[in-house]
């Protein structure tokens, strides 16, 4: 397995780190136009999608053959709700590139039969051939997707309750500050099934989580520490997010 140093790329600014992630995704699509991408939301990803949209407009990349699966979706929100991750993905990426929206998938937030919907999502990923590249952010508490501390390393897509610090961190995305208290997320095991995982973390608020993700072995208190077991993870950091590690 590669060591952490082999997998880490540190950039002078959040923008530079995001640009590098976008270029990595674009290069993947150039070599594999029918790639299956795992996509992520969160403010960290916004400059990644902006770079990709600009590259598409310059004719440098096509999504015509691409299939996507997002990590997670809030429970109980209609897809048309501006706070939903479906709306977010449409706004940031899907509405601006040549992707077939019928091949863009998010966990079914409006489903009442959660378990069946979650099983279906897992099956759809398998039927698509598995995820080639999973884009991943990290929560301040070390969560990946919406796998909060306490999530099992072999967890699969399921309904989860969000922790108070996640609700506080994500309130800024909702006009009334009211974040849904539950979500459907790919499990840690689902994420680890991807052939390649690309993590983007920027800003000092992520430094501790990045550091804990690499300290010791997998700890249930830090879901991102499960990435140590994967073997094909690229970390893209800015100097602020990498700082605690450099000091450690």
Residues that bind ligand GLP (CB under 6 A): 40-44, 71-72, 137-139, 145-146, 166, 170
Which residue minimizes CB distance to ligand GLP? 137
Q: Does residue 100 have an active-site annotation?
A: no
Q: Which candidate in 72, 73, 122, 238 is catalytic?
A: 72
Q: Which candidate in 70, 73, 108, 143 is catalytic?
A: 143
Q: Does residue 154 have an active-site annotation?
A: no
Q: In which residue are the tokens 């998938």 written?
A: 105
Taking alpha carbons only, the member of 9, 40, 15, 73 closest to residue 194 is: 40
Q: Which candidate in 108, 122, 132, 148 is catalytic?
A: 148
Q: Does residue 143 have an active-site annotation?
A: yes
- Kind and range of the H or E run holding 238: strand 233-238
Alpha-carbon distance of 233 to 73, in angstroms, equals: 23
Least distance (Å) between residue 213 CB and ligand GLP: 12
Q: Which is nearer to ligand GLP, 100 or 105 (CB)?
A: 105
Q: Is 96 helix (H, G, I), strand (E, B) or coil?
A: helix
Pairing mode, strands 72-74 and 182-185: antiparallel
Q: Which is nearer to ligand GLP, 34 or 178 (CB)?
A: 178
Least distance (Å) between residue 41 CB and ligand GLP: 6
Q: Which is nearer to ligand GLP, 44 or 243 (CB)?
A: 44
Q: How many residues does the chain have?
A: 248
Q: Is 222 helix (H, G, I), strand (E, B) or coil?
A: strand
Least distance (Å) between residue 177 CB and ligand GLP: 15
Scanning the chain, the segments in alpha helix (DSSP H) are: 4-7, 14-31, 46-57, 85-92, 114-127, 164-170, 188-192, 207-213, 239-247
Q: Which is nearer to ligand GLP, 84 or 170 (CB)?
A: 170
Q: Are 195 and 159 in contact (CB under 8 A)?
A: no
Q: Is the dihedral of CA 60, 201, 105, 188 positive or negative?
A: positive
Q: Which candidate in 141, 147, 211, 243 is catalytic?
A: 141
Least distance (Å) between residue 239 CB and ligand GLP: 17
Least distance (Å) between residue 190 CB and ligand GLP: 13
Question: How many C-beta neighbours within 10 Å does residue 42 have?
Answer: 18
Pairing mode, strands 36-39 and 67-70: parallel
Q: Which is nearer to ligand GLP, 41 or 67 (CB)?
A: 41
List active site positions.
Answer: 72, 141, 143, 148
């Amino acid at each position: 397995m590669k060591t952490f140093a082999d997998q880490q790329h540190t950039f002078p600014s959040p923008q530079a780190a995001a640009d590098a992630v976008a270029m990595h995704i674009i290069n993947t699509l150039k070599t594999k136009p029918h790639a299956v991408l795992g996509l992520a939301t969160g403010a960290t990803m916004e400059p990644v999608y902006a770079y990709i949209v600009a590259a598409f407009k310059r004719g440098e990349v096509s999504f015509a053959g691409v299939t996507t699966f997002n990590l997670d979706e809030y429970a109980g929100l209609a897809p048309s709700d501006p706070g939903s991750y479906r709306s977010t993905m449409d706004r940031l990426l899907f509405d601006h590139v040549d992707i077939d929206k019928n091949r863009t998938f998010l966990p079914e937030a409006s489903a009442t039969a959660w378990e069946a919907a979650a099983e279906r999502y897992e099956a759809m990923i398998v039927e698509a051939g598995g995820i080639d590249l999973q884009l991943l952010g990290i929560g301040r508490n070390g969560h990946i997707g919406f796998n909060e501390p306490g999530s099992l390393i072999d967890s699969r897509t399921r309904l989860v309750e969000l922790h108070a610090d996640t609700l506080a961190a994500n309130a800024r995305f909702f006009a009334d500050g009211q974040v849904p208290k539950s979500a459907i997320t790919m499990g840690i095991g689902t994420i680890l099934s991807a052939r390649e995982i690309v993590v983007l973390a920027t800003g000092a608020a992520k430094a501790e989580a990045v550091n804990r993700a690499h300290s010791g072995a997998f700890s249930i208190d830090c879901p991102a520490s499960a990435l140590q077991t994967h073997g094909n993870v690229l970390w893209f950091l800015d100097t602020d997010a990498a700082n605690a590690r450099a000091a450690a």
